[in-house]
């Protein structure tokens, strides 16, 4: 349960103001059909984060716990710094619309998430916890918590949220996780 809750919270915070949240707003404004957009985001996230979670699990087995502890600790600290850099939606990430609302959302969201903060966080969280399904379910739920309101409420919701403060809170959480891993605070994070 711990892996699920931590994964959900971290990704929900990390996703605020992220380019995939901006993509959600763009899709909602363009298509004005929230249900296929939300379903496209869900399916794209499940595929993307399942692959990221599998990679994190495999890396842990391949490298061993001591090397992985240093990589994870430093990765979480790097994520803390990355959280403080605002995202912009690139021209290449804008949806084209050749596949219908669901297909366009699925493809655009999957591609936009490649190499994104939340995908890398999913790799690190899956490596951190020995709970692939809990991490993937948690990171997916975190994505939905951040993106469904963006689709349903549009840009109004994101203008009302203190995005910079949310990014700072997420950065602090990532930094604390990184330090806990590096300092071997096993009791706090259930490291093995």
The per-residue pLDDT for range 118-135, each reduced to its tens digit, is 888 888 888 888 789 999
- Does residue 129 contact residue 191 with C-beta atoms inside 8 Å? no
Alpha helices by DSSP H, the chain: 2-15, 19-31, 34-63, 65-83, 100-113, 117-128, 132-153, 155-160, 163-182, 186-189
Query: Where is mean pLDDT largest: 62-71, 83-92, 104-113, 149-158?
Result: 104-113
Expressed as residue numbers, the domain containing 175 is 2-189
Separation between Cα atoms, residue 142 and residue 138, nearest integer Å: 6
Q: How many domains does the chain have?
A: 1
Q: Average pLDDT for residues 44-58, to the nearest whole number? A: 91
The per-residue pLDDT for range 68-98, each reduced to its tens digit, is 677 767 777 876 776 677 655 444 545 555 6
């Amino acid at each position: 349960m711990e892996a699920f809750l931590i994964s959900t919270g971290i990704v929900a915070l990390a996703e605020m103001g992220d380019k995939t949240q901006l993509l959600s707003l763009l899709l909602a404004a363009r298509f004005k059909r929230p249900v296929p957009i939300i379903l496209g985001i869900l399916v794209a996230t499940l595929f993307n984060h399942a692959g990221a979670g599998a990679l994190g699990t495999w890396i842990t087995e391949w490298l061993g716990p001591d090397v992985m502890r240093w990589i994870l600790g430093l990765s979480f600290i790097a994520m803390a710094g990355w959280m403080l850099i605002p995202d912009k939606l690139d021209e290449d990430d804008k949806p084209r619309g050749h596949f219908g609302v669901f297909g366009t959302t699925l493809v655009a969201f999957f591609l936009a998430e490649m190499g994104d903060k939340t995908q890398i966080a999913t790799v690190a969280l899956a490596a951190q916890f020995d709970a692939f399904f809990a991490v993937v379910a948690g990171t997916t739920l975190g994505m939905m918590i951040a993106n469904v309101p963006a689709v349903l409420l549009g840009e109004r919701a994101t203008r009302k949220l203190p995005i910079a403060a949310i990014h700072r809170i997420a950065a602090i959480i990532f930094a604390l996780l990184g330090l806990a891993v590096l300092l071997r605070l096993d009791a706090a994070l259930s490291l093995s």
